[in-house]
Amino acid sequence: MDCSITKNDIIIKSWKHLVEEVYFDAWKPGMGRYRSDYVFRGLSDSTYQLKNSFLRNSGNHPEFEYHLLRNFRKYARTTEPSQTGTQWRSLVLAQHHGLPTRLLDWTYSPFIAMHFATANTEKYDTDGVIWQVDFVKINLLTPDPLQTILIEEKCNAFTLEMLEENFASLSRFDEVNGPGHAIFFEPPSLDDRIVNQYALFSVMTSPTAILDDFLALHQLLYRRLIIPKELKWEIRDKLDQANITERVLFPGLDGLAHWLKRHYQPRT
């Protein structure tokens, strides 16, 4: 997929413009409420693809996925054995701790996506981007039995438990649903980080599939908000004032250190 400017790209002009665009189509007249069907992923460089960490790490070797997870499950030591009880649960835990997986991180919060688009000050000479994707409609594109699960549960997003109950393994998930499909699902609340980041994941029916290619076939289901490099400092400072920082999103000393490092970095 060409990462140059497309008809799906909105060039952000100001902080006010950005806030308006992230709530695009959020008003639901039937409910009388603002309830967005979009999820968000912020990237510091607008040319980055939606390529999962497994593909970035292992290339076109889908067979490596099984061995990565097998060894992670074998060697992982946690205080909660149930966290690695199934392959799906191991997948989420592995992603959470940095193992290359087929998962991509998303958030329901546009402001948290803004954080990830502006947190890397080494990329302040580069335009950032926030991907805005209609997860409700994408989940409705799924074949049976995924479609049946959503209808029976009367929900918009899958949960880890739904996937565990219906697909014993990732290979079974791929086999039953066939190539070229994507879903969004909510992880369990493993720790404060997942809760604070208002996180969910996308997963495709192949470890080497690229979400950009899927979205290129469904161009009405996504937008890209391009954040010009000139706006990054203003957005970053306003997010800090709103307490959208590493200190909150990554609870603990590591998050605190990253926040302080950036907070006291002079603008040059």
Contact call for residues 62 and 15 (beta carbons, < 8 A): no
The helix or strand, by DSSP H or E, that contains position 92, with its residue range, turns out to be helix 87-96
Residue 258 lies in a domain: no
DSSP 143: P
- Give the phi and the psi of residue 38 in degrees, each rounded to 5: -100, 150
Tokens of 110: 């546009």
pLDDT of residue 6: 79
User: Distance of alpha carbon 200 from its chain centroid, rounded?
Assistant: 6
Contact call for residues 83 and 73 (beta carbons, < 8 A): no
User: What does the buried/exposed string (b/e) look like for 121-134 if buried means 16 or more CB atoms within 10 Å of the residue's CB?
Assistant: bebbebbbbbbbbb
State the alpha helices, DSSP H only, in 97-245: 110-118, 135-140, 146-153, 160-166, 170-177, 192-196, 211-216, 232-241
Residue 255 lies in a domain: no
Query: What is the DSSP track for 35-76?
Result: ---EEEEEESSTT-----HHHHHH-S-THHHHHHHHHHHHH-
Task: Indicate the SS3 state at residue 261.
Answer: helix
Q: Which domain, by its residues, includes 50?
A: 9-231
Residue 243 lies in a domain: no
Residue 250 lies in a domain: no
Contact call for residues 223 and 135 (beta carbons, < 8 A): no
Residue 20 lies in a domain: yes
Residue 165 lies in a domain: yes
Residues 6+ apart with CB under 8 A from 15: 231, 234, 235, 238
Query: What is d(CA 195, CA 48) in angstroms, rounded to the nearest whole number?
Result: 26
Residue 256 lies in a domain: no
- Give the largest CA-CA distance in the chain: 55
pLDDT of residue 77: 72
| Tens digit of each residue's pLDDT, the chain (268 residues) | 444 667 899 999 999 999 999 999 999 999 999 999 999 999 999 999 999 999 999 999 999 999 999 999 989 876 555 555 789 999 999 999 999 999 999 999 999 999 999 999 999 999 999 999 999 999 999 999 999 999 999 999 999 999 999 999 999 999 999 999 999 999 999 899 999 999 999 999 999 999 999 999 999 999 999 999 999 999 999 999 999 999 999 999 999 999 999 999 998 7
* Cα first-last separation, the chain: 34
- Closest Cα partner for 193 from 111, 106, 96? 96
pLDDT of residue 1: 41
Contact call for residues 86 and 164 (beta carbons, < 8 A): yes
Q: How many helices (H) and strands (E) in the chain?
A: 14, 10
DSSP 127: -
Residue 193 lies in a domain: yes
Domain tally for the chain?
1
Tokens of 200: 């969910």
